[in-house]
Amino acid sequence: MQRISPVKAFKLVVLGAALYLSLAANLTFAQAYPSKPIKMIVPFPAGGTTDIVARIVAQRMSESMGQPVLVDNRGGAGGAIGADLVAKAAPDGYTILMHNITFPLSSVAQALNNRSPFNVDTDFAGVSIAVYVPFVWTANPSVPAKDLRELANLLRTNKSLQYNYGSTGPGSAMHVLGESYKRDAKIEMEHVPFKGAAPLKQELLTGRIQVGGDQLSSSLAEIKAGSLRALATTATKRIAGLPDVPTVKELGFPGLELEGWNGVFAPAKTPKDIIDRLNREIVAAVRNPDVAKRLSDLGADPVGSTPAEQEAILKRQMDQFRAVIKDMKLE
């Protein structure tokens, strides 16, 4: 039997102790998380769907995790400013992002124009799709059209009409859909970008912007009150709470179909155990009966997906509109 020299034995002991301490430290960190408040970045101003969903989910997470989950609104550049803050944050689970359907579309547009401050494929780790929220086209009631097909006919037969459509920012879902609609319907409208759904809705209500769109929760109350008119939903089926609103496919615009969602992301390289903990908390939050009812009342469908399911949705939607965005040269 070969004897181990005292020096070699000492080295093995030191190595074993270091490995033990490293594993123990990692285990302690995972068990202790979170040990301080978590910041949930919303890359839009307060009042829009993403902000509303974030605050409902964050409140429940705060209760279950024993630490405050604080919503921080950082609007601008179609959501890119807030997303970039998360992309560059420490991957420790204390800075996370609540984004929406605009994320994959604006990221494609910015990447094609070589002006994206981050890489959506490599700078983020998916956590969960929290909810599905239908995307709805809306108009000021003064617009003499009850749906997108009538709007197209109106603008084609009245060339003197100077209509504007608003979006939540360059490369946002409404920007991409608006330009696709103009192309498919062979009409003209001027694009006016805003920093989020709340300022866009305000301009729609005053009539300074004729047409716009965002996820349903942003405008459901105004649609039901009659202060905004729903022209169409981009969902694959009619919305249960608004059964008279047709889908874009019904109106002859199948290329405008787009499933709306709100989901949570973390910086890339966030440890898997932290991602798993956040995923469990979000799934539990949106499936809590009280939270689920609050979300459903806002037109949101609680989901709580896995990170892999979230990644698949993003990839599918980016692939769906990549060629369109490139052809339209969106900025």
User: For residues 16, 17, 22 and 27, what is the CA-based torsion angle, rounded to 10 degrees?
Assistant: 100
Q: How many residues does the chain have?
A: 331
pTM: 0.82
Q: Does domain 36-132+260-328 have CATH number 3.40.190.150?
A: yes
Strands 164-167 and 190-193: parallel
Over the stretch 124-151, which tens digit does the pLDDT of each residue have?
A: 999 999 999 999 999 999 999 999 999 9
For the chain, give every domain's residue range: 36-132+260-328, 135-256
Q: What is the rounded CA–CA span in Å between residue 330 and residue 175?
A: 8
Q: Which CATH architecture has domain 135-256?
A: 3-Layer(aba) Sandwich (3.40)
Pairing of strands 261-267, 95-100: antiparallel
Q: Does 291 or 117 have the greater pLDDT score?
A: 291
Across the chain, mean pLDDT equals 90
From CA 303, how far away is CA 261, in angstroms rounded?
A: 9
List, for residues 241-271, the tens digit of each pLDDT value.
899 999 999 999 999 999 999 999 999 999 9
User: How many CB atoms neighbour CB 154 within 10 A?
Assistant: 15
Asked if 70 and 40 count as a contact pair (C-beta separation under 8 A), the reply is: yes
Angle CA 135–250–328, to nearest 5: 60
Q: Where are the beta strands (DSSP E) in 140-205?
A: 164-167, 190-193
The yes-or-no answer to whether 36-132+260-328 and 135-256 have a common fold is: yes
Measured over the CA atoms of residue 197, residue 257, residue 188 and residue 161, the dihedral's sign is negative
C-alpha closest to that of 256 among 148, 119, 158, 104? 148
pLDDT for the residue numbered 324: 79
